[in-house]
């Protein structure tokens, strides 16, 4: 996997690069400021972009705006965003920005090596990786999901983190058949159109996050 990393903190940047290299991935580009992100991504066209939300010169939302801009220039580019804190609007906006793998992790998640490397691979493959704390805070914003049962909300919560049916089954200590039934109920209650189940999962997560 070819990565571009946008991070101004040298220690964190080098740490991410070393972790990526240890898993056989290649860092092909580095950006240390907001204005450098899009040109670096366009030059290298990586398999995955790992971006800090707040970058120089203003430390506001440079990384997120770059992610949204490059998604328009390179549709489908997988993006994993790192942030010191949960920025609810940013997470929801990025998830709603279109197709392609998307992740939003808090920076302390980088220290959990196996989880972080799994998130890299999941997002690069077109999946979703959301920090559990991000999901919890998005849920607390309030949503149109009142029709869901507590168990269905738990299943959707885990779907939003990128877990597949087997992993959800293990986390909730229920059968995969039960998980499939809950997911079917979620699709029905959210009135999602019939079709590819993977696409419906994405729509369900977007409904959940944007609720």
> For 22-77, what is each residue's pLDDT tens digit?
999 999 999 999 999 999 999 999 999 999 988 999 888 888 888 888 888 888 89
* Same structural domain, 123 and 19: yes
Best mean pLDDT range from 28-32, 149-153, 196-200: 28-32
pLDDT in tens, 76-122: 899 999 988 776 666 666 666 555 688 888 888 788 888 899 999 98
Edge to edge, what strands does the sheet with 48-52 contain?
A: 26-31, 2-6, 48-52, 79-83, 102-106, 128-130
* Same structural domain, 149 and 190: yes
Range 189-196 average pLDDT: 67
- Per-residue pLDDT, 201: 73
* Same structural domain, 118 and 171: no
Give the domain range for residue 143: 139-210
Prediction pTM value: 0.69
- Per-residue pLDDT, 153: 84
- Per-residue pLDDT, 76: 85
* Same structural domain, 174 and 85: no
* Same structural domain, 88 and 183: no
* Same structural domain, 104 and 127: yes
- Per-residue pLDDT, 166: 93
Residue where a domain stops, chosen among 102, 131, 160: 131
CB 79 within 8 A of CB 51: yes
* Same structural domain, 33 and 100: yes
* Same structural domain, 36 and 100: yes
Reported as a pLDDT band with limits 50, 70 and 90, residue 150 is confident
CB 103 within 8 A of CB 128: yes
Domain containing residue 23: CATH number: 3.40.50.2300
pLDDT over threshold 90, residue 146: no
């Amino acid at each position: 996997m070819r990565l571009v990393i946008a991070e101004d903190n040298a220690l964190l940047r080098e740490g991410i690069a070393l972790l990526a290299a240890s898993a056989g991935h290649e860092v092909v580009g580095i950006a240390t400021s907001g204005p450098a992100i899009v040109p670096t991504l366009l030059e290298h066209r990586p398999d995955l972009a790992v971006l800090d939300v707040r970058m120089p010169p203003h430390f506001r939302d440079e990384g997120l705006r770059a992610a949204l801009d490059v998604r328009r220039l390179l549709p489908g580019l997988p993006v994993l965003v790192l942030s010191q804190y949960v920025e609810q609007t940013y997470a929801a906006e990025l998830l709603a920005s279109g197709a392609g793998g998307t992740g939003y992790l808090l920076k302390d998640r980088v220290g959990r090596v196996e989880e972080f490397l799994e998130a890299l691979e999941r997002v690069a493959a077109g999946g979703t990786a959301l920090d559990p704390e991000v999901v919890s805070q998005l849920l607390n914003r309030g949503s149109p999901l009142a029709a869901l049962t507590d168990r269905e909300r738990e299943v959707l919560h885990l779907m939003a983190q990128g877990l597949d049916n087997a992993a959800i089954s293990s986390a909730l200590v229920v059968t995969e058949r039960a998980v499939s039934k809950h997911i079917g109920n979620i699709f029905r209650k959210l009135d999602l159109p019939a079709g590819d189940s993977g696409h419906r999962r994405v729509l369900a997560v977007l409904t959940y996050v944007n609720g």
